[in-house]
Every structure is written in structure tokens, then in C-alpha cells.
Amino acid sequence: MIPLEVINPPTERKNSPDYVRLSAASAMALRLQSGRFARDFEFGGINLLLNYDNGCLSDCAYCGLARTRPGDYEDKSFIRVDWPLFETGLVVERLAKYEEKLTRLCISMVTHGSAYKDTYDITERICKQVKTPLSLLVAPPTLNRERLQALKSLGTDMIGVGLDAVTEELFFERRTNVPNGGLKWKNYWDIINYSREIYGPWKVNIHTVVGLGETDRDLVELFYALKEQQILAYLFCFNPEPDSRMGNYPKSSIKRWRRIQLVKHLIEEYGLECRSIHFDEEGNISGLETTTSRINKVLKTLDGGLPFMTNGCPGESGEPGCTRPYGSYRPSEPHRDFPFMPASNDLVQIRKEMALEDIII
């Protein structure tokens, strides 16, 4: 009699560190997948994602990788983008081959017991062969101060933390008080603070998602607090993932999104004072006082479109490095954030979308 396991051999496990997922845009850039963008532009920000049979063990209400979202982990999307699976060795070979065209690399962890050791392994492989700056988007439950220091010693350049929900109450609602999750606000801030101590000023970034239930005031207060700590704030727009618990939750209006993009830019780059931002009773931006010629110039020119580009880790020379095409919108939808400098006709449309004249005081 032929043993059953010979008739039905076990399926090969394609887990990290031997396999990683790449964003569709990254796979295209490394010539591992065919495709093209609606507009031609230089793309060099490569995003890797850890892969496990049982997936991410967190269960965030809005995330495509959430533990209780239906479907196999390998088939799940992340920020509404496909992430095809490849052998890590092949990916590292392609990173080395196309290094001159690359601007930024990033490994995204997930909440999993093997995530730290596998991230260490993949980071070591990459840093030995590729000189492009490397960021880590970390999973705080898997880390501590010593592990952050060990990852830095390998050659990692920046640390990102996906805080997403910008208040403790909202974090609890979307990420802690969920069927299978239990992430802790304090744990996230401990890792943020350790990272700031170890990596230094402007080498730590916090992902903030617009549209999870926060107010504009909540976002603005966090922008000021992070700037004071010399920590970067990166904006993402909530984009409903089908079958997630927030799959039918509406995304922010384009008007709100554009105004937040602009105000964040004015705070970070031009020192816009908090007293110059007015809010209505619901905490939404209702007015902007323009008291300096510099800010008036920005409002007139929209700073060439820079406030509306994708927030991401910079390249080696400070240029936009990680641009995440289609991370906040579908290819068929208007750009929420631009992976390239917006053109003049884009700026005309952006000005209409934010209805800027309605809030200028």
C-alpha cells in the first residue's frame, strides 16, 4: 500500500525568511512582473512584506491583512494593493542588479512570533549586497530596545511605526478591542520612543491614517507633537478593504484629505502656528489665517504640488524615495497622493478639490 503522504505530498511552505511578498509596483520595478502605470515616472521605492501561512496575528478593523478577514493570507491585499510572493534570494539578486535605479527599500513586518528573527535575516542579506537606504516598518509587539539596536547595527536607516489611529481612544476601538488582536497603545509608543533614541532625529516616522474616525484637530495636534520630537508624520488615506470590518465604512472626502495634506505641509515646512488654524465644533478645519508672505506664496502656488505627493522615506539625497503608487486609491480613481510631482493641470484640480478659498481668513 502506498503511504497517504506520498499520494498527497505536503504543500511547500513559502514562509519568510525564504519568501517575501512585493508590492505590485515593486515587482514591476524589479522586472519580476509585467505591467505599466497610467503615467510614466521613475519608480525606485521597493516595498517588501513578510509572509506566513497563518498570516498576521493582529486583527485591526480596517486592515486587509486582518486575522479574521476572510480568505487565505497569501491572497489578501494590503492597502488595496496586490503583493505577489517571490523567493527572497531572487528578490535580493534583483535589488543588487537594479541598485542604481533604486531610491529606498522597506521591509514591512507583521505581528507574528517569527517576525523579528526573519526581519533580521532578510535585513542582513540585503545590507550585505545592496547600498540603497533601508527602512523597516516594524510590528511593535515583536520588538524591544535591544532588538531595535540589533537591527540598526545591520545597517537599517530608518524605522517606521504604523500607529494609524491617532488617539488612544480610537486606537483601542480599531486595534485593541477587536476579536483577535489586542494591540497596546503604550507598547506602540514605547517602540516609537526607543526608536527615536536609537536612530536619532528625523529617522523615525509614524504612519497616520485619515478616516478611521478621528477629527482634523486630533491629526493637527499629533503633527505638532511629532515635529517637536523630530519625528516624521506620514499620511495615508483610509481605503476600505472588502470584507474587513470597516469594508463598508466611507473614506474621507477628497476636500478634507487635501486640506489636511496642505495644513500638515505648512506646519512641518513653514512653521504654521496652531493659533492660525481654526476648527468648527466637530473638530474639522474651518479656517486658515495667512499672516506671512511665505505662507501666502505657498497658498498661491501650492508649493508646486509637493504637499500632495506621497509621504514616504527619502532617498539618499533627500528626494522622495518611497512613493507607494495606489496605496490610498484605486488606479481608476483620482490620485489621493501623487508618486510624482503633480503637473499644472493636477494643481488646478487639487485647488478645486480642497475649496481653499472657503477657509482662507
Domain ranges of the chain: 8-358
Tell me the DSSP string of 135-179: EEEE-GGG--HHHHHHHHHHT--EEEEEEES-SHHHHIIIIISST
User: What is the C-alpha separation between 351 and 289, in angstroms, rounded?
Assistant: 17
Q: Are strands 285-288 and 277-279 parallel, antiparallel or unpaired?
A: antiparallel
77-86, 169-178, 192-201, 309-318: the lowest-pLDDT one:
77-86
105-159 residue pLDDT tens = 999 999 999 999 999 999 999 999 999 999 999 999 999 999 999 999 999 999 9
Q: Amino acid identity of 80?
A: R
Do residues 336 and 310 lie in contact, with contact meaning Cβ atoms separated by under 8 Å?
no
Q: Which residue has the higher pLDDT, 180 or 96?
A: 96
User: What is the C-alpha separation between 189 and 186, in angstroms, rounded?
Assistant: 5
pLDDT for 80 equals: 52
Q: Is 64 exposed, middle or buried (0-12, 13-18, 19+ CB in 10 A)?
A: buried
Cβ partners under 8 Å of residue 11, min gap 6: none
Q: Amino acid identity of 339?
A: P
pLDDT for 335 equals: 86
Residue 43: pLDDT band by 50, 70, 90 thresholds? confident
pTM for the whole thing?
Answer: 0.93
Q: Which cell goes with 273?
A: 502656528
Do residues 267 and 220 lie in contact, with contact meaning Cβ atoms separated by under 8 Å?
yes
Return the CATH architecture of domain 8-358. Answer: Alpha-Beta Barrel (3.20)
